[in-house]
Amino acid sequence: MKRLALVLVALAAVSAVPAAAQDQRPGGVFKAAMIGEPPSLDLHWTTATITQQITWHVYETLYTFDRNFNPMPLLAEGQTVADGGRRYTIRLRHGVKFHNGKEMTSADVVASLTRWGRISTSGKPLWKNVEAVEAKDPYTVMIHLKESSGVLLVGLARPNNGAVIYPREIAEAAGDNQTKDVIGTGPYRFVEHKPDRHIKLARFKDYAGRSEAPDGYAGKRTALLDEILFIPVPDVAVRIAGVETGEYHFAQQIKQDQYDRIKALPGVVPSIIKPSGWSTAVFNHKQGLMTDKRLRLAFQAALDMEPIMAAGFGNRDFYRLDPGLLYQEQTAWYTKAGGELYNQKNRAKAAALLKEAGYAGQPVRWVTTKEYEWMYKNALVAKQQLEEAGFKIDLQVVDWATLVQRRNKPELFDVFSTGFGFVSDPAFMTSAQCNWPGWWCHEEKDRLIDGLIKESDPKKRRAMFERIQVLFYEDAGRIKFGDSFTLDILRKEVRGFKTTPETFFWNVSLSK
């Protein structure tokens, strides 16, 4: 299969503390201040970014991405493709151990991929094209496809809600339910989860890493730290103060309007992820008020995105107004198709649509959170604009874990806040998936998503994606507010940290 060539031209505006290899010493306890508690530690089960940020130190996939977002072997040794692209034979690495001491074999891979393809948001669309997965011998897995695919390895490499490999007994025992057993093959092993205190990982001494030089998320992964503590710190001011005093080594999701102050703090280094994601309001298409397309279109028509994004991200260097579902930096995919329906600022149109729909002031239940403060501020400004157009918005502020739980229950919300992160290929955009909370199911759009998975011709795939983006706006599938760039911070004594769309702490050390 051809490698995907989506080079991020503008990625990593400010990187943190480059270090020579000889400057890195093993040891120490690394403390990362996170925005809150993850809703689960089962990566097959949730798309929550915080779950991935923690658990992909523990779990690994068959493939991962290099710096140019080409899929590269991780647990796999390599693959051959036959039968016109419909049969993938994947060779596994020998001697890879799980944290319980058991060697990984094809039986673990088959059980894990089968479960992932059945229950995960990212796996379900890919698995529609999978006829069978079988273990040919202890170190060989064969995947039979119904039709050739241009994105199978890309799908297996995605970190978020990724196709991580669990021990067979854990994958099979969990079935469609959430597993509580956190056992993988990664450089760090799970030790304990003390809610509201920390999630502790420790170096896995028997880790079987790759030998190639680090390249993006690919190549050698070394656990230089003795332990990593992921600490829930919902208050952003406390996260900043903790890094300033040295209580924490890293803090995520810092308010962008603090950038100038951060740059002046001694011992603190800013890290900007650009592009990072885009801010969104997600409609409930399954149940309730927002199943009425006219109400969704009214919502979309009313919004003025500049004050919404300014409230959420403060500094103009950290956001931009853009209709694209993928980013300007992704030159192979970027398009403004359908963009005339973005950022309309048309309250009169919204009011007319509300009247046509017979809207009588029923409260629109919008669930948001202050743990991602930008979500709350985006929602707060949008609420004011929508109410000026004739909506009544019931803004319900909860913690992030509760939001993730509620969004799975269509009877509990009409709209919820979230953000969609970077993806390397539109076939795996959570923003377009029918089976993800909000349940934006649309016959033509879903057919085009299936086509993206099967088609390998770049021109045909781009045309499919452009049409999906048009439908996104014509049907008001979700609401895109704008692109956002993330500000994280870390202590100057952190060595080896890389600014990438996905945060990781392997190959990272402390200078003291």
The tens digit of pLDDT for each residue in 468-487 reads 999 999 999 999 999 999 99
Nearest in space to 63 (alpha carbons), one of 248, 202, 257, 210: 210
Peptide bond before residue 275 is cis, with ω within 30 degrees of 0: yes
Residues 6+ apart with CB under 8 A from 266: none
Mind giving me the DSSP string for 456-501?
--HHHHHHHHHHHHHHHHHTT-EEEEEEEEEEEEEETTEES----S
In which residue are the tokens 């048009």 written? 470
Report the distance separating Cα 119 and Cα 240, nearest Å. Answer: 37
- What per-residue confidence (pLDDT) applies to 23? 66
Report the distance separating Cα 426 and Cα 450, nearest Å. Answer: 11
The tens digit of pLDDT for each residue in 59-92 reads 999 999 998 889 999 999 999 999 999 999 999 9
Spell out the domains of the chain, with CATH numbers in brackets: 21-236+493-510 (3.40.190.10), 275-319+331-486 (3.10.105.10)
The tens digit of pLDDT for each residue in 171-217 reads 999 999 999 999 999 999 999 999 999 999 999 999 999 999 999 99
**Beta strand extents in 41-139 (DSSP E only):** 63-65, 71-73, 76-82, 87-92, 130-137
User: What letter represents residue 420's amino acid?
Assistant: F
Nearest in space to 55 (alpha carbons), one of 187, 148, 234: 187
Residues 6+ apart with CB under 8 A from 173: 179, 181
Question: The whole model's pTM is what?
Answer: 0.80
From residue 274, alpha-carbon distances to 115, 340, 416, 484 in Å are 33, 25, 24, 8
Task: Characterize 128-157 residue by residue with b for buried, 16 or more Cβ atoms within 10 angstroms of its Cβ, and e for exposed.
Answer: ebbeebebeeebbbbbebeebbbbbbbbbb
Examine the pLDDT at 39 and tell me if it is beyond 70: yes
Among 23-27, 71-75, 316-320, 447-451, the least confident range: 23-27
Cβ atoms 104, 185 nearer than 8 A: yes
Report the distance separating Cα 287 and Cα 344, nearest Å. Answer: 26
